[in-house]
């Protein structure tokens, strides 16, 4: 709608231009003739010149209006970009993809600067996400890379290592990496469930043995998942949680006891203006 308004204003400006130019040329010619015959104070010429000045003022006002409208559209675009980036950042946090979340928050601040809530969340996230030493780095890399990319037939051999990584997360209170661990465990459990269901429908001895093996493995991964979820639950109930900002769906409301201080796209401060990049 704003774009169509800008277009109409620009058309009005262009429509005035030939009238001003034509009338100005005619008045200049008449003014010269009037001077030649000693009629420089002719009231008709004065009135005509005033009309031209009025047209020029109207043109200037229309130009200013078009510039203001264009600035408004750019501001709306910048705010919408920031809102979308904040939403994506929150989704990345919930998925445990913290590097991506940090990147999205930075881009949101570039699109719409001077937003204290976004800046505060970004600073908190970067501080919490910082590595606490080589052991911490090794544990995080294992979960985000090796465990996340593991095939089903590799899970059993990797379980001791992933448990070790989880113990590191608990000791260092790295709830962000633990959150990622729950997501990866959930994906592996879905795969294991599908395999168990497939093998359960077969009758060969080998299939029954494989089914028993994967049922046992499923229980082990479930146990790990329960322990990770319990850690996150206890941490949250203890008031330590710093959950990512959330954007409720249209039919949802934020929890009444939500004390996270999280941000949502609607929290953007409209008092601050973004940089204009035509």
User: pLDDT per residue over 112-141, tens digit each?
Assistant: 888 899 999 999 999 999 999 999 999 999
- Under a CB-based contact definition with an 8 Å cutoff, are residues 232 and 175 in contact? yes
Where are the extended beta strands (E) located within 110-250?
none
What is residue 253's predicted lDDT score, i.e. its pLDDT?
36
**Which of 259, 272, 248 is closest to 108 using CA atoms?**
272
Residue 278: which residues within 8 A CB-CB, separation 6 or more?
70, 74
With bands split at pLDDT 50, 70 and 90, how would you rate the model's confidence at 17? Answer: low
**Which of 276, 252, 278 is closest to 264 using CA atoms?**
252
With bands split at pLDDT 50, 70 and 90, how would you rate the model's confidence at 246? Answer: very low
Dig out the tokens for 41 from the structure: 């104070």
What average pLDDT is seen over the chain?
76
Percentage of the chain with pLDDT > 90?
A: 44
Where do we find the tokens 């395999």? Answer: 195
User: pLDDT per residue over 2-13, tens digit each?
Assistant: 556 555 655 655
What is residue 248's predicted lDDT score, i.e. its pLDDT?
29
pTM metric for this prediction: 0.62
CA distance 125 to 149: 25
| 3-class state of residue 272 by DSSP | coil
- Under a CB-based contact definition with an 8 Å cutoff, are residues 130 and 173 in contact? no
Neighbours of 95 (CB within 10 A): 15
The answer, yes or no, to whether residue 190 has pLDDT greater than 50, is yes
- First-to-last C-alpha distance (Å) of the chain: 19
| 3-class state of residue 23 by DSSP | helix
The answer, yes or no, to whether residue 82 has pLDDT greater than 80, is yes
The answer, yes or no, to whether residue 84 has pLDDT greater than 50, is yes
| 3-class state of residue 4 by DSSP | helix
Name the percent of the chain in helix, strand, coil, to the closest 5: 75, 0, 25
What is residue 139's predicted lDDT score, i.e. its pLDDT?
97
- Name the least confident of 7-21, 77-91, 172-186, 244-258: 244-258
Dig out the tokens for 77 from the structure: 């675009």
What is residue 210's predicted lDDT score, i.e. its pLDDT?
92
């Amino acid at each position: 709608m704003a774009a169509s308004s800008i277009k109409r204003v620009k058309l009005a400006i262009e429509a005035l231009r030939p009238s001003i130019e034509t009338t100005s040329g005619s008045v200049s010619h008449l003014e010269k003739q009037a001077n030649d015959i000693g009629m420089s104070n002719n009231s008709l010429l004065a009135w005509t010149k005033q009309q031209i000045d009025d047209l020029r003022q109207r043109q200037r006002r229309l130009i200013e209006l078009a510039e203001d409208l264009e600035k408004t559209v750019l501001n709306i675009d910048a705010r919408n970009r920031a809102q979308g980036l904040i939403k994506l950042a929150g989704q990345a946090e919930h998925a445990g993809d913290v590097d991506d979340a940090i990147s999205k928050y930075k881009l949101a601040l570039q699109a719409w600067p001077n937003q204290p809530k976004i800046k505060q969340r970004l600073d908190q996230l970067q501080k919490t996400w910082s590595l606490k030493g080589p052991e911490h780095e090794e544990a995080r890399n294992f979960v985000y890379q090796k465990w996340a990319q593991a095939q089903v037939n590799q899970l059993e051999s990797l379980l001791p290592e992933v448990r070790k990584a989880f113990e590191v997360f608990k000791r260092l209170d790295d709830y962000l990496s633990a959150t990622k661990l729950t997501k990866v465990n959930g994906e592996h459990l879905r795969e294991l469930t599908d395999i168990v269901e497939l093998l359960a429908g077969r009758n060969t001895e080998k299939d029954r043995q494989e089914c028993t093996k994967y049922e046992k493995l499923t229980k082990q991964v479930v146990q790990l998942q329960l322990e990770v979820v319990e850690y996150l639950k206890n941490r949250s109930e203890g008031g330590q949680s710093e959950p990512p900002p959330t954007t409720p769906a249209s039919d949802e409301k934020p929890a009444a006891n939500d004390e996270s201080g999280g941000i949502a796209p609607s929290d953007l401060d409209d008092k601050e203006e973004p940089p204009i990049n035509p």
